[in-house]
Amino acid sequence: MSDLWVALGLVLALEGALYALAPGAMKQAIRQMLELPEGVLRTGGLIAAIIGVFMVWLVRG
């Protein structure tokens, strides 16, 4: 369970750093995402989730 909290903390740290370092770029990225069809976002999210699970599987064995 502690690994889950560490992972969530890392996600928050990375997201926070992106918004702190480049708020304009993040706003532009959000604008562009709003224009994408839901299917494209869903596919991208699914691919990201699969890559993430694969990375954890590689590291944790």
Summarize pLDDT for 24-44 with one digit per residue, the tens: 999 999 999 999 999 999 999
Total domain count, the chain: 1
**Which are the contacts of 19, defined by CB distance < 8 A and separation ≥ 6?**
26
What confidence score (pLDDT) does residue 1 get?
84
Domain housing 33: 2-60
Return the amino acid letter for 18.
L
- Mark out the alpha helices in the chain (DSSP H runs): 2-21, 23-35, 38-60
Residue 22 has pLDDT above 90, yes or no: yes
Alpha-carbon 2 to chain mean position: 20
Q: Is the pLDDT of residue 61 over 90?
A: no
3 pLDDT more than 90: no
pTM of the model: 0.73
Structure tokens at 24: 């304009």
